Structure formats: C-alpha cells, structure tokens
Amino acid sequence: MDNKNTMRINKKPKIGIAILIGIVLFINSVFAFAVSSAYWQDNPLKIMPGETKEIKIVLQNMAGTENITLKGKISEGDDIAKIIDSNDIYEIPLGTKKEINIKVTIPEDYKVGENYTIKASFTTVTMGGGSFGFGSSIDKTIPILIVNSKGEFKKEIFGMAPAVFYSIIIILALLIVLIIIFLIIRRRKNNQKFKRR
C-alpha cells in the first residue's frame, strides 16, 4: 500500500515538470519570431479607389534559438491583397529579418472614408519525410483607409466632399427663403392694389 502511494507521489512531480517543459517550449515557439509593419491602428495604409500599392512587412527571428521556416498567407482581405513573393515559404536564419512583399489593390467603387483590414498570417513549418508539419503562428493586421487624391478621408456625399455638399444645401436654403419672402411681399402689394380699387 505504501509503495503504491509512493509511486503516485513520485509521478506527480514528473507530470508537473513535463507540463512546465511543454509550456516553456510553446512560449518559446510563439515568441521565437515576430512580424512588424509600418502600419497600425492610428497609422493606416492610405490608398485611393482604383489605386494599387506595394507594401512590406518584416519577419524577424531575433529572440529564438534556431533557424525557422514560415509559411505565409493572407488570411483576411485576400480580395484586395496578395503576397507577391515567388514563394510563400520563408527561411529565416537565427538573428535575421526578411521582408515580405504584399500588393494591395482597391476597386474603383470603394468609397472615400471607408475602412478595411487585411491580415497576413505566418505559421512555423517543420519538414520531415517529404511532408510539412505546421506549428505556432502569428498574425499581422494592416488597417486600410480609403482617401481621395488629396489624401483626405472624409466620406463623400453624392460624390462631393461634405463641406461642399453642405455649402450647396445652405445656399439653396437661403435662395428658397428669399424666393418665399419675395412672393409674400409681392402678394401683399397685389392685395393692397386690389383693395384700393
């Protein structure tokens, strides 16, 4: 009875150590590589309707302990963005960085002031026996803001900038008021002439 209890007690530390090692290895694999870009929430990629731009994001293997291989793809927004490198498998030696080229094309019918998002995902790849295995992954989100030729991003109304549209509305309203006042004055004068007769 005592031997069985001793064996159970001895197994618990081993299980705990194994779990701890697994957690450490997982954290190491997640943070072994990173991805960065020149765009974030407060600094989106500004692009016009019908325009195409090529942007770069950077994969880094600075904090790991070995070379890594990553597979890249556009996991969100693939209708307006695509990776244009010749291969979507990237070898990144320890202590190095690699630029990834992405082409973003905005359709003509996209409206100024609208916001979109593209997401590039990178997954670690292990190769063995002629096949691929996939491990941890990391995403990079790139916000997109549709602007006009002046770099302005206020939403247009009937194809006009809001300031122009509202100026026209105010002018039209003033003209209508003046016309109404003119008609009232003219009607009063006609009524006065009619009473005199």
**In contact, 73 and 92? CB cutoff 8 Å:** no
Both 165 and 105 in one domain: the answer is no
Both 18 and 64 in one domain: the answer is no
Both 112 and 129 in one domain: the answer is yes
**Domain membership of residue 4 as a residue range:** 1-31
The DSSP code for 88 is: S
Cβ within 8 Å of residue 155, ≥6 positions away: 111, 112, 113, 114, 162
Both 104 and 162 in one domain: the answer is no
Domain boundary among 112, 128, 146: 146
Tokens read off for 74: 């556009």
**In contact, 76 and 110? CB cutoff 8 Å:** no
One digit per residue, the tens of pLDDT, for the chain of length 197 reads 555 554 455 555 556 554 554 444 444 444 467 899 999 999 999 999 999 999 999 999 887 788 889 999 999 999 999 999 999 999 999 999 999 999 999 999 999 989 999 999 999 887 654 544 556 788 999 999 999 887 666 665 666 666 677 788 889 898 899 999 988 888 887 776 666 66
Cβ within 8 Å of residue 168, ≥6 positions away: 160
Tokens read off for 36: 């960065």
Both 129 and 42 in one domain: the answer is yes
Rounded Cα distance, 141 and 44, in Å: 10
Both 104 and 51 in one domain: the answer is yes
Both 120 and 165 in one domain: the answer is no
pTM of the model: 0.62
Tokens read off for 117: 């998002």
